[in-house]
Amino acid sequence: MTQGAGQEPVVRTATLRDFRVPPYARVPVQGHSASPVAGNPYATEIPPVEGSSATPVAAATPATPATSAQAVPAQTTVPPTTVPPAAPAPAAPSQGTASPPDAPQAEPAGSGHPGNAVPADEFPDGYTPTARDLPVINRGDTLQVRVEPAAEPAPAPRPDGPGPLYVVGDVHGYLDELLVALHEQGLIDSEGHWSAGNARLWFLGDFTDRGPDGIGVIDLVMRLSAEAAAAGGYCKALMGNHELLLIGAKRFGDTPVNSGAGTATFQAAWLLNGGQKHDMDRLQDVHLQWMSRLDAVAQEDGHLLLHSDTTAYLEYGDTIEDVNDTVHEALNRNDADECWDLFRKFTKRFAFRDEAGPQAVRELLATYGGTRIVHGHSPIPYLLGQVGGENGDGEDGSGPVVEGPHVYADGLAIAMDGGVTMAGKLLVQRLPLHD
């Protein structure tokens, strides 16, 4: 354009690039914090993510390089609260061009695309990469502004090697006692969240029945598993005979099974062994799936971890992997008689207590490895003869005296069921234990 006579010189301004921001990029990264549950300072519920709207980008704002959201570690969804995804804010269309179709809702954290509404390789139909939305003509007089991307924070240093190893005995629904015991060992904080860094924690099974809140115990263990993994440690669990009993009662109910001593049902056996209606009423598919996938045997630092003090594990395989695979396959076949046989064998006890006990322990160790067995299932007061014996069972109301784990069978076995259901003690112990 030719400058007219008598007109002031044209003042040239910096050329600005108008980039349209596609709707999926306008979804903010959501955050939330846990709040205590009323009446229990340890237990928590995860609140739903509050919806928010993205601020529209002005057309006259210079473009700056986008920085990707920092990856969030994947975590296991914890029942019973489900966090709904936030809906993306509507995008203002750019003049003269067609707006991309609405993007799908943002996925929750842990889905593999934290902070993004759409994976990088799954753009909405009709979307054109931003660099091609508008033609950019470099005439030589465009103001070039270089913006350095923000540096990502350095990852926190992790201690070398695995953390300390802890085991937990039978809980049987005593959630409050469990929270106190875990807090005393420094494994959780005052609000019930994992605080032990890279520590390793194993539950030896029997989470429900007899006590007041078996499903609450399962929910806690599932949540701690996610929190411990995020902190560099882990929280794992073994399958106890009461997990098998609860699974059977839910799946088969009053279906007759061959008990070996006549006809029986899982429902009757569950009620006879302390089954609680409030646990069954709150039992969800996620709890059943979690219990069905638990291993029966594990080994950590030379400790062979079992739920039951029985040699019946030898009937299911010659290696730890074989035993766990056989148990999982039996549960997946969903046969009532087969599940009953599994429950019946894992209910056996006292194989390590008498004169032949040390040899039974050595047979298991020789087959599966390790130098010591750690188990739950049989309450220590029974192993010590404090219940039903000359010492009585706490006639003064004090209950049996359990100070800690019981080491026996020539020092080869450690019993961890402190008898919390009979006014004993819920045990959480760091290993190795020196007798």
At residue 383 the predicted structure's pLDDT band, cuts being 50, 70 and 90, is very high
Over residues 200-256, the pLDDT tens digits come to 999 999 999 999 999 999 999 999 999 999 999 999 999 999 999 999 999 999 999
Reported as a pLDDT band with limits 50, 70 and 90, residue 34 is very low
Lowest-confidence range among 190-194, 255-259, 377-381? 255-259
Mean pLDDT of 135-160: 46
336-346 and 320-333 helices cross at what angle (nearest 10)?
A: 140
**What is the helix (H) or strand (E) element at residue 179, kind and residue range?**
helix 175-184
Q: pTM for the whole thing?
A: 0.64
- Between 181 and 117, name the one with better pLDDT: 181
DSSP class per residue in 185-230: TTSB-TTS-B--TT-EEEE-S--SSSSS-HHHHHHHHHHHHHHHHH
pLDDT digits (tens, 9 = 90+) for 252-282: 999 999 887 777 999 999 999 999 999 999 9
CB 371 within 8 Å of CB 302: yes
For the stretch 401-435, pLDDT in tens is: 899 999 999 999 999 999 999 989 999 999 999 86
For the chain, the average pLDDT equals: 75
pLDDT band at residue 398 under the 50/70/90 scheme: low
DSSP 306-341: ESSSSSGGGGG-SSHHHHHHHHHHHHHHT-HHHHHH
Q: Take residue 190 and report the two structure tokens written for it.
A: 């005052």
Beta bridge partners of 194: 188
What is the mean predicted confidence (pLDDT) over 155-160? 52
What average pLDDT does range 320-345 have in this prediction? 96
More confident position, 153 or 408 = 408
Q: Give the count of alpha carbons within 13 A of 51, CB side only.
A: 9
Share of the chain above pLDDT 70, in %: 60
How far apart are the C-alpha atoms of 324 and 184, rounded to whole Å? 32
Q: What is the DSSP string of 28-49?
A: PPP----EEETTEEEEEE-PPP
Which has more pLDDT, 130 or 375? 375
Residue 347: which residues within 8 A CB-CB, separation 6 or more? 241, 308
Q: Which residue matches tokens 């490895």?
A: 369
Higher pLDDT residue, 381 or 138? 381
Strand, coil or helix: 365: helix
Percent of the chain whose predicted confidence (pLDDT) is above 90 = 57
> Residue 302 pLDDT > 50, yes or no?
yes
Structure tokens at 34: 């846990």
Instruction: Give me 206's structure tokens.
Output: 């029997």
Per-residue pLDDT, 113: 35
Tell me, what's the pLDDT at 89?
45
The predicted pLDDT at position 391 comes to 40
SS3 413: strand
